[in-house]
């Protein structure tokens, strides 16, 4: 099964959520996971190499790749058996290399925030994605939500996004998230993450694996 984590907006939490989902699926669900890091910053691949140097056992493989190599890579991964392929996408839409990636997705996870710029990017991403893969399931995750802020746009944003997919419970803005790596998700944020991922797993993954 191919899961892509995307949004045109940089800083939405794509790379962080990819890592946390990889950790969740391997640790809590014992799935065989491969992460394809297509972000320019290759932050996941760097964390993976760092963990390797520290001689941690590698719970899953991380492959740094660019969009052009994707079609070949997918064939190899599919031939290698039943597993979950997680793809951390770059924050862009103006690249034809995204077409085969969007087409291959069984599920799309889209982190977003309730500010105006993020909303426009999220809608644009969703429209383009739907054009290329009309039936794909989209699961939106509100991320970096501040406890003391009232988001005026929340009701409207939720209503618009609901036309494309479903919206999960929110992930708060907490500094601990920045300590997530390929070995573990910080314990302090685990309850929130497990709640979000358990629901996605039950609704969209379990029948696909």
2, 3, 8, 14: residue in contact with ligand ADP (rule CB under 6 A): 14
Backbone angles phi, psi at 4, to 5 degrees: -105, 145
Rank residues 116 and 159 by Cβ distance to ligand ADP and give the closer one. Answer: 116
Cβ-based neighbours of 164, under 8 Å, separated by 6 or more: 126, 130, 138, 140
Provide Rg for the chain, Cα atoms.
16
Rank residues 32 and 43 by Cβ distance to ligand ADP and give the closer one. Answer: 43
14, 47, 144, 204: residue in contact with Mg ion (rule CB under 5 A): 14
15, 23, 42, 122: residue in contact with Mg ion (rule CB under 5 A): 15
How many residues bind to Mg ion according to rule CB under 5 A? 3
173, 186, 194, 199: residue in contact with ligand ADP (rule CB under 6 A): 173
How many residues bind to ligand ADP according to rule CB under 6 A? 17
Q: Within 91-110, which residues bind ligand ADP (CB under 6 A)?
A: 91
Helices and strands of the chain, counted as H and E runs: 7, 7
- How far is Cα 171 from Cα 195, in angstroms, rounded to an integer? 10
Reduce the DSSP state of residue 31 to 3 states and report it: coil
Rank residues 178 and 207 by Cβ distance to ligand ADP and give the closer one. Answer: 178
């Amino acid at each position: 099964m191919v899961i892509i984590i995307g949004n045109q907006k940089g800083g939405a939490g794509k790379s962080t959520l990819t890592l946390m989902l990889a950790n969740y699926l391997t640790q809590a669900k014992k799935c065989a996971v491969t992460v394809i890091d297509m972000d320019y910053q290759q932050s996941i691949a760097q964390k993976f190499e760092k963990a390797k140097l520290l001689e941690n056992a590698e719970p899953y493989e991380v492959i740094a790749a660019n969009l052009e190599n994707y079609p070949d890579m997918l064939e190899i991964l599919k031939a290698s058996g039943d597993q979950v392929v997680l793809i951390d996408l770059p924050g862009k839409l103006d690249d034809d290399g995204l077409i085969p990636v969007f087409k291959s997705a069984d599920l799309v996870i889209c982190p977003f925030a309730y500010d105006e710029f993020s909303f426009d990017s999220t809608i644009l991403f969703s429209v383009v994605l739907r054009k290329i893969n009309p039936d794909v399931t989209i699961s939106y995750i509100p991320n970096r939500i501040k406890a003391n802020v009232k988001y005026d746009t929340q009701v409207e944003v939720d209503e618009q996004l609901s036309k494309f997919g479903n919206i999960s419970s929110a992930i708060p803005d907490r500094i601990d998230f920045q300590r997530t790596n390929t070995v573990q998700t910080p314990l302090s944020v685990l309850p929130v993450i497990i709640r979000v991922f358990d629901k996605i797993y039950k609704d969209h993954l379990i029948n696909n694996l």
